[in-house]
């Protein structure tokens, strides 16, 4: 039996949710920062898009430099899928990524590239690579300690002694011979070390972070609702409050662990404690996107860098949303002095057309064997890699004109958001972000005298309902950050016009007035 044509089978629950906020609109065409829907007569109605494909559209919808390229590629019948072959275009993309990173960070150490399709995939590739490396360190440490235990055994046979501290650690009685003490000590050492080394890796992440929703990455994402139902499936993270260096130090102190090793020196066997490689990685977004547009401070970045160096924990800088020029530089992390052992990029890497992502790992940590263990059918395909090359060339052209444009447009847009805040201080809590990655947070309405506004706060849907209103009444598309729904996010393209900014200002002032006057009626479609 075939399903009835009108029945919604593609995520029907989501459709219902969108409908309740007035967001279940079908868009039929897109260009630049404009989406088009059809009215009752089938005529196109423009909608100014500030959601920007969740940050995937640094060049706008259907940018001509990319659509022309795709047409040309199709006309040339490029092999789209020719896996297990040489891919010089992917290499060109990797070269350009390195050139941008070197220019911005001053680092000359190359980064090796692993291409993939989505943001979460790049994040998981980084986490897997880091774990591959950590597991090797654990194995090497085990071998080394086993060798030292053997050496201690030989030393005892040759009359080596054990001190009081060692006897105590072994739980030995005074009557025990040196051999017996060593044997008890080794037994305890093995048990202790096993307990430390067989733990799942410790991950550090930030409160408010978003790193994806796959099995591994969702456990590194802070939102409890996304994470908790799947907690049994993967290693857990310790979430550190954003921009609180001392809280980071405290978390690390609680997580760090030592293994016991043996040392023989001048005929004495001693226990030495060695820092164990228990940390999988520290993941962070230089500007949190989905969690509410919150910037990591330079001071905090410095503490992250120093702490991770001290404990041997690789840093994965997740630039999936903040990267690719969005904040006025290629990487948002470069402007706060944060250097990644790994970088993840996606979204605008696909030029608004392809699904594309990349994980980059610096040479010192790079493990070639990983390429034999990790793969993805669609990686390095014949469409997304030339697109990535074209996007990178476009961003870097004219001495980085695109970055300057992102910064300038962003400042303009931010000044408008600030002016709305200044005029409606009781309604607008905060304006945050940099370049074309901005957020405007409305004050909490859970204590509002209005029952409707209290309900919207309790149901955690205020931002969605306001977005529905902006769309319906002003033809402006914005969306809240999903894990902090009182914050509206703005991620338009570098082609953003003054006219579009003006349209947004009018729309936001209207919404601010509705909130100030508690005009419940206005929100009802």
Helix, strand, or coil (residue 451): helix
User: What distance in Å separates the CA atoms of residue 114 and residue 110, rounded to the nearest whole number?
Assistant: 13
**For strand 279-284 and strand 315-318, is the pairing parallel, antiparallel, or unpaired?**
parallel
Any long-range contacts for 43-47 (C-beta under 8 Å, 24+ apart)? Answer: 45/475, 46/475, 47/471, 47/475, 47/476, 47/477
How many CA atoms within 13 Å lie on the side-chain side of 369?
Answer: 5
Q: What is the DSSP secondary-structure string of 342-386? A: EEEE-GGGGTTTS--EEEEEETTT--TTHHHH---TTTT-TTHHH
348 scored as a contact of ligand F0G (CB under 6 A): no
Nearer to ligand F0G, 289 or 468 (CB): 289
DSSP conformation class of 349: G
321 scored as a contact of ligand F0G (CB under 6 A): yes
> What are the two backbone dihedrals, phi and then psi, of residue 367, each rounded to the nearest 5 degrees?
-120, 105
Nearer to ligand F0G, 297 or 506 (CB): 297
Distances (CA, A) of 330 to 318, 323, 335: 13, 6, 10
Helix, strand, or coil (residue 484): strand
271 scored as a contact of ligand F0G (CB under 6 A): no
Residue among 256, 253, 298 at smallest CA distance from 276: 256
Shortest CB 358 distance to ligand F0G, Å: 12
Helix, strand, or coil (residue 72): helix
Nearer to ligand F0G, 283 or 308 (CB): 283
Q: What is the DSSP secondary-structure string of 180-191? A: HHHHHHHHHHHH
Nearer to ligand F0G, 277 or 492 (CB): 492
Nearer to ligand F0G, 170 or 482 (CB): 482
Nearer to ligand F0G, 32 or 286 (CB): 286
Nearer to ligand F0G, 181 or 478 (CB): 478
User: What distance in Å separates the CA atoms of residue 282 and residue 317, rounded to the nearest whole number?
Assistant: 8
The residue number with the shortest CB distance to ligand F0G is 119
Helix, strand, or coil (residue 366): coil
Handedness of CA 40, 44, 45, 49 (dihedral sign): positive
User: What distance in Å separates the CA atoms of residue 324 and residue 326, rounded to the nearest whole number?
Assistant: 6
Handedness of CA 439, 443, 444, 445 (dihedral sign): negative
442 scored as a contact of ligand F0G (CB under 6 A): no
Annotate each residue in 141-160 with x if it binds ligand F0G (CB under 6 A) or - if it does not, as one string: --------------------
**How many CB atoms within 10 Å of residue 459?**
12
203 scored as a contact of ligand F0G (CB under 6 A): no
Nearer to ligand F0G, 133 or 319 (CB): 319
Nearer to ligand F0G, 193 or 348 (CB): 348
124 scored as a contact of ligand F0G (CB under 6 A): no
User: What distance in Å separates the CA atoms of residue 114 and residue 267, rounded to the nearest whole number?
Assistant: 51
The span of 45-53, 208-216, 239-247, 369-377 binding ligand F0G (CB under 6 A) equals: 208-216
129 scored as a contact of ligand F0G (CB under 6 A): no
What number of chain residues touch ligand F0G (CB under 6 A)?
A: 17
How many CA atoms within 13 Å lie on the side-chain side of 298?
Answer: 4
User: What distance in Å separates the CA atoms of residue 41 and residue 140, rounded to the nearest whole number?
Assistant: 71
- Residues 38 to 67 in contact with ligand F0G, rule: CB under 6 A: 54-55
Out of 33, 285, 295, 396, the only residue in the binding site for ligand F0G (CB under 6 A) is 285
Out of 289, 328, 340, 480, the only residue in the binding site for ligand F0G (CB under 6 A) is 289
Shortest CB 122 distance to ligand F0G, Å: 8
Residue among 310, 289, 344, 329 at smallest CA distance from 130: 344
258 scored as a contact of ligand F0G (CB under 6 A): no
287 scored as a contact of ligand F0G (CB under 6 A): no
Out of 22, 32, 60, 119, the only residue in the binding site for ligand F0G (CB under 6 A) is 119
Nearer to ligand F0G, 421 or 489 (CB): 489
User: What distance in Å separates the CA atoms of residue 241 and residue 297, rounded to the nearest whole number?
Assistant: 12
385 scored as a contact of ligand F0G (CB under 6 A): no
Shortest CB 318 distance to ligand F0G, Å: 5
The span of 9-17, 70-78, 204-212, 405-413 binding ligand F0G (CB under 6 A) equals: 204-212
- Residues 209 to 228 in contact with ligand F0G, rule: CB under 6 A: 210-212
Nearer to ligand F0G, 55 or 63 (CB): 55
DSSP conformation class of 334: G
User: What distance in Å separates the CA atoms of residue 479 and residue 481, rounded to the nearest whole number?
Assistant: 7
370 scored as a contact of ligand F0G (CB under 6 A): no
Shortest CB 330 distance to ligand F0G, Å: 16
Nearer to ligand F0G, 320 or 476 (CB): 320
Out of 320, 420, 457, 485, the only residue in the binding site for ligand F0G (CB under 6 A) is 320
Binding stretches for ligand F0G (CB under 6 A): 54-55, 118-120, 123, 210-212, 285, 289-290, 318, 320-321, 346, 482
């Amino acid at each position: 039996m075939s399903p009835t044509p009108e029945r919604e089978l593609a995520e029907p629950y989501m459709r219902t949710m969108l409908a309740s906020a007035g967001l279940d609109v079908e868009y039929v065409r897109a260009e630049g920062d404009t989406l088009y829907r059809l009215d009752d007569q089938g005529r196109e109605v423009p909608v100014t898009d500030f959601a920007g494909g969740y940050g995937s559209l640094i060049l706008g919808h259907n940018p001509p430099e990319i659509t022309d390229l795709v047409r040309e590629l199709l006309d040339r019948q490029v092999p789209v899928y020719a896996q297990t072959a040489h891919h010089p275009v992917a290499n060109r993309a990797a070269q350009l990524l390195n050139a941008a990173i070197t220019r911005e960070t001053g680092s000359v150490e190359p980064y090796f590239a692993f291409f993939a399709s989505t943001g979460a995939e790049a994040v998981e590739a980084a986490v897997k690579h880091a774990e591959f490396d950590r597991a090797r360190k654990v194995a090497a440490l085990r071998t080394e300690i086993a060798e030292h235990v053997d050496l201690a055994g030989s030393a005892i046979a040759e009359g080596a002694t054990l001190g009081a501290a060692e006897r105590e650690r072994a739980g030995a009685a005074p009557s025990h011979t040196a051999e017996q003490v060593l044997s008890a000590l080794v037994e305890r050492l093995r048990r202790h070390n096993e307990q430390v080394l067989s733990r799942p890796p410790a991950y550090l992440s930030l409160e408010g972070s978003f790193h994806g929703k796959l099995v591994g990455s969702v456990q590194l994402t802070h939102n409890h609702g996304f994470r908790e139902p799947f907690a049994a499936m993967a290693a857990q993270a310790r979430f550190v409050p954003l921009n609180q260096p001392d809280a980071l130090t405290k978390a690390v102190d609680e997580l760090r662990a030592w293994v016991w090793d043996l040392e023989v020196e001048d005929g004495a066997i001693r226990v030495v404690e060695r820092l164990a490689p228990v940390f999988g990685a520290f993941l962070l977004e230089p500007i949190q996107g989905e969690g509410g547009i919150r910037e990591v401070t330079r001071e905090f970045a410095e503490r992250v860098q120093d702490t991770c160096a001290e404990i041997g924990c690789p840093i994965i800088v997740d630039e999936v949303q903040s990267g690719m020029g969005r904040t006025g530089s290629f990487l948002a992390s470069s402007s706060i002095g944060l250097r990644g052992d790994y970088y993840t990029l996606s979204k605008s890497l696909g030029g608004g057309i392809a699904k594309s992502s990349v994980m980059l790992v610096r040479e010192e940590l790079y493990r070639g064997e990983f390429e034999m263990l990790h793969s993805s059918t669609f990686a390095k395909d014949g469409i997304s890699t030339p697109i990535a090359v074209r996007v990178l060339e476009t961003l870097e052209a004219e001495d980085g004109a695109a970055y300057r444009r992102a910064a300038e447009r962003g400042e303009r847009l931010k000044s408008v958001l600030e002016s709305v805040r200044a005029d409606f201080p009781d309604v607008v809590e905060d304006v945050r972000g940099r370049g074309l990655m901005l957020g405007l947070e409305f004050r909490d309405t859970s204590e509002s005298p209005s029952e409707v506004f209290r309900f919207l706060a309790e149901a955690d849907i205020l931002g969605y309902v306001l977005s529905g209103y902006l769309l319906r009444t002003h033809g402006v598309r914005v969306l809240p950050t999903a894990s902090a729904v009182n914050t509206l996010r703005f991620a338009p393209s570098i082609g953003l016009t003054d006219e579009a900014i003006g349209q947004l200002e009018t729309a936001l002032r209207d919404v601010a007035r509705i909130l100030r006057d508690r005009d419940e009626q206005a929100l009802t479609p």
